[in-house]
Structures are given as structure tokens and as C-alpha cells.
């Protein structure tokens, strides 16, 4: 349901509308679009196109005004257009120099990442984050092999065909059939999630009313909990910047409820880390806009992150801010900063 639904001309009109709305925060009129779009269209044609864009869910009209406001779908069209026409810009040297000086003063990765999250948060006037380390393994499948008595060999296959094995004591003798059923249930429910997310989901289900599950499912969940007890997280993560949303003349007005949701997210660093691990699949840009978030409390926000992969290490820099943000500027900022930090850390090792 993306930008393929509408014509190139409509996309260009939409891009003009989104730019205007980002700048002013005001609904955009058809007269203004006719003047600014550079498409040589009359107001009547623009009105007819806007009516179609409203039907396709790209704009809506606040009751009190004659102008239109972009929806999350319009922001997605706009961002896709930006990415099509974008050249990768090398980071300004002063940004790189800033991080080099930081790395010389304190070469600890933790301190460098704290400096990076602070830098992007101030520059974007949004919440900034920086993440470095080995990404959390993603579950491909689990297998249980009976070893006799109550002992079971658990084989965990994660993305990239990495295999880890662990012997657990189930506390009861289970038949090979029981174990096949348990593995099938867990694989159906949890394959594709990071191991940390699987562990959280398993614990949550075990805490729910026991009677919801028959004995077999409870057993399967207990086996998974034993298996995933210690998952080391090899990631260093910094996030900061709610204050950045409140200062500066170019601030986008955000509601108290929205601000509260952001503060809570920053306090739940583990949850934010899980989200990032679910969203980021490899090097390059990751952009999640408003309604594209699975979690309802994140739908007022867009997330823009840029990732570089260096051997086994993944580095990500990004921001979270209201959907009405300066996308082109923010994309250039996070992408340039990720490149700069990667070069500095590569040289430091």
C-alpha cells in the first residue's frame, strides 16, 4: 500500500505538500500547491488530485480548514522519493574531527557512543541514539533431543546457520513425541524473533493464567526458558535527548502524551534495543514512519537509523522524533555521523 499506488505527478505534488507542512505545521491549500509545485497545474486540477490523494489515504483535511495535511503514507512516499534521488554525502570534516578528539580524550567505546548520541540529539533536536556491537542472534529453529532420564540436548539454530547446543534438565521424562510437539510449537510461535525477544515472550506467557495452556505448551515454554536463560548482549547502547524536543525555535510542537511515551521508551532501554534489533537487518538506512510501527505507543514517531557493518561489529546511529520531522536533513545527519564514527573507531583499533 505504498507509493506505487499513485502517479509520478501526484508524488511530486505530495512532496511539495509534505515539505510545506514540515516547514509550517499548517494545512496546505490547493492555491499554494498550484504555485509551488512547479507542475504548471491550475488550482482546479490540484483540488481534483488532492481529492484522489485523500481517497487513497495520503492526505486528510482537518474539519476547520480548507487545506490538507499529510498522513504517514504521504511521509513514506516523500521519504522514498528522497532516497531515490539521494547521493551519499561524505561527512563534513568538522564532525569527524569532533569524534576523533573525543576518541583521543577517552578511547572507551562507551564514551564515544555517549558523545555520538548527544551530538545527533542536539543537531536533530530529537531523541538520539548510538549502538555498537554484535547484533543479537535471531531464532531460526529449536530442536530437542532426548538424552535419557530427564536430560535433553537443546539445539538452537539462529540466522546465518549459527548453531549452539545446551543440555537442560526438564525435571520430568519426556517422550521423543512430546519433544517434537514442543519444538514445533516454539518454532511456529517464535522463529524470526531475536533470542532476547523470544525469552521475554516466553516468560510473559508463563506468567499468564496457567490454565490458558495445556500441559504440553507449558512444558514447551519451560524448556525454552531454561534454554534461553543467559543470553549475553554484546551491545553498547546510548540514548538521550527528550530535552532536545523542547528547546530551539524550530521545534515541532508535540503533545504531553507523546512526550510521555518518548520518555517511557527512553527509560525502557531494553525495549528500544529490542526494537532496533528487530528493525535493522543490515547495513544502510532503516526508516520506520508512524503507523509502520507495530507498537501503538510509537505511532506518533518516526525512526531514522543508519547502520555500518564492520566485520562482526554493527554500528548504528539514529534519531526518533515526531512524524513531522525534517527527513532529508535528519537522514543526511545520521548517515554522515555513522560513517564518521565508523572511520574513527576503525582507526582507533
Give the domain CATH number at 341: 3.30.450.40
Could you give phi then psi for residue 3, rounded to 5 degrees? -70, -10
- At 108-148, the pLDDT tens digits run 778 888 889 999 998 888 899 998 887 667 888 888 888 88
Place of cell 533431543: 145
Mean pLDDT value across residues 30-45: 89
Whether the per-residue pLDDT at 301 is higher than 50: the answer is: yes
Question: Is there a single domain that holds both residue 72 and residue 104?
Answer: no
Cβ–Cβ < 8 Å for 299, 290: yes
Question: Is there a single domain that holds both residue 198 and residue 319?
Answer: no
* Structural domain count of the chain: 3
> Which residues form the domain of 182?
139-227
- Going by C-alpha positions, the residue among 21, 110, 101, 97 that lies closest to residue 325 is 21
Instruction: Express the helix, strand and coil content of the chain in percent, nearest 5 each.
Output: 50, 20, 30
Whether the per-residue pLDDT at 349 is higher than 60: the answer is: yes
- Going by C-alpha positions, the residue among 319, 307, 316, 309 that lies closest to residue 346 is 309
Of 212-216, 293-297, 324-328, 333-337, where does mean pLDDT reach its minimum? 212-216
Question: Is there a single domain that holds both residue 53 and residue 101?
Answer: no
Whether the per-residue pLDDT at 212 is higher than 80: the answer is: no
Whether the per-residue pLDDT at 161 is higher than 70: the answer is: yes
Whether the per-residue pLDDT at 2 is higher than 60: the answer is: no
Whether the per-residue pLDDT at 85 is higher than 80: the answer is: yes
Whether the per-residue pLDDT at 307 is higher than 70: the answer is: yes
Question: Is there a single domain that holds both residue 33 and residue 179?
Answer: no
The reported pLDDT for the residue numbered 48 is 93
The domain that holds 51 is classified in CATH as: 1.10.10.10
Whether the per-residue pLDDT at 289 is higher than 90: the answer is: yes
Question: Is there a single domain that holds both residue 129 and residue 179?
Answer: no
Question: Is there a single domain that holds both residue 248 and residue 340?
Answer: yes
Question: Is there a single domain that holds both residue 337 and residue 241?
Answer: yes
Mean pLDDT value across residues 75-94: 82
Whether the per-residue pLDDT at 213 is higher than 70: the answer is: no
The reported pLDDT for the residue numbered 4 is 47
Question: Is there a single domain that holds both residue 242 and residue 338?
Answer: yes
Question: Is there a single domain that holds both residue 10 and residue 152?
Answer: no
SS3 147: coil
Cβ–Cβ < 8 Å for 158, 136: no
The length of the chain is: 349
Task: Round to whole Å and give the CA distance between 63 and 266.
Answer: 35
Mean pLDDT value across residues 273-288: 86
Mean pLDDT value across residues 319-342: 92
- At 267-279, the pLDDT tens digits run 778 778 878 878 8
Task: Round to whole Å and give the CA distance between 79 and 233.
Answer: 32
Last residue of a domain, one of 227, 258, 285: 227
In this prediction, residue 232 has a pLDDT band, given cuts at 50, 70 and 90, of low
CB atoms within 10 A of CB 343: 16
- At 183-200, the pLDDT tens digits run 998 899 888 887 877 888
Whether the per-residue pLDDT at 75 is higher than 60: the answer is: yes
Of 13-27, 45-59, 230-244, where does mean pLDDT reach its minimum? 230-244
Question: Is there a single domain that holds both residue 129 and residue 239?
Answer: yes
Using CA atoms, how far residue 131 sits from 101, 231, 266, 287, 305, in Å, is: 19, 18, 14, 16, 10
Question: Is there a single domain that holds both residue 158 and residue 116?
Answer: no
The reported pLDDT for the residue numbered 221 is 85
The reported pLDDT for the residue numbered 21 is 95
The reported pLDDT for the residue numbered 88 is 67
Amino acid at each position: 500500500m505504498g507509493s506505487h499506488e499513485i502517479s509520478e505527478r501526484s508524488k511530486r505534488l505530495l512532496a511539495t505538500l509534505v515539505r510545506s507542512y514540515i516547514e509550517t505545521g499548517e494545512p496546505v491549500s490547493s492555491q499554494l500547491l498550484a504555485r509551488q509545485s512547479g507542475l504548471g497545474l491550475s488550482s482546479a486540477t490540484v483540488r481534483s488530485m488532492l481529492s484522489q490523494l485523500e481517497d487513497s489515504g495520503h492526505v486528510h483535511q482537518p474539519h476547520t480548514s480548507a487545506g490538507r495535511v499529510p498522513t504517514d503514507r504521504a511521509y513514506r512516499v516523500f521519504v522514498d522519493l528522497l532516497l531515490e534521488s539521494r547521493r551519499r554525502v561524505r561527512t563534513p570534516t568538522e564532525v569527524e574531527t569532533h569524534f576523533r578528539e573525543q576518541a583521543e580524550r577517552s578511547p572507551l567505546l562507551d564514551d564515544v557512543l555517549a558523545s555520538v548520541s548527544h551530538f545527533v540529539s542536539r543537531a536533530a533536536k530529537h531523541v538520539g541514539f548510538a549502538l555498537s556491537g554484535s547484533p543479537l542472534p535471531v531464532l531460526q529453529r529449536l530442536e530437542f533431543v532426548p538424552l535419557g532420564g530427564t536430560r535433553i540436548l537443546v539445539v538452537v539454530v539462529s540466522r546465518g546457520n549459527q548453531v549452539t547446543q545446551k543440555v537442560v534438565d526438564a525435571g520430568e521424562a519426556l517422550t521423543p513425541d512430546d519433544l517434537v510437539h514442543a519444538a514445533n510449537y516454539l518454532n511456529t510461535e517464535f522463529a524470526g524473533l531475536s533470542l532476547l525477544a523470544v525469552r521475554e515472550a516466553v516468560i510473559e506467557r508463563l506468567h499468564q493464567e496457567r490454565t490458558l495452556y495445556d500441559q504440553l505448551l507449558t512444558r514447551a515454554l519451560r524448556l525454552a526458558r531454561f534454554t534461553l536463560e543467559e543470553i549475553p548482549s554484546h551491545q553498547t547502547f546510548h540514548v538521550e535527548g527528550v530535552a532536545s524536543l523542547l528547546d530551539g525555535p524550530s521545534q515541532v510542537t508535540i503533545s504531553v502524551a507523546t512526550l510521555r511515551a518518548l520518555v517511557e521508551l527512553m527509560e525502557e532501554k531494553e525495549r528500544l534495543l529490542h526494537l532496533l534489533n528487530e528493525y535493522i537487518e543490515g547495513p544502510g538506512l532503516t526508516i520506520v514512519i508512524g503507523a509502520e510501527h507495530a507498537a501503538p505507543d510509537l505511532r506518533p514517531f518516526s525512526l531514522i537509523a543508519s547502520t555500518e557493518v564492520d566485520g562482526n561489529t554493527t554500528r548504528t546511529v539514529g534519531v526518533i522524533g515526531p512524524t513531522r520531522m525534517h527527513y532529508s536533513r535528519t537522514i543526511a545527519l545520521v548517515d554522515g555521523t555513522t560513517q564518521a564514527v565508523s572511520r574513527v573507531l576503525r582507526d582507533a583499533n
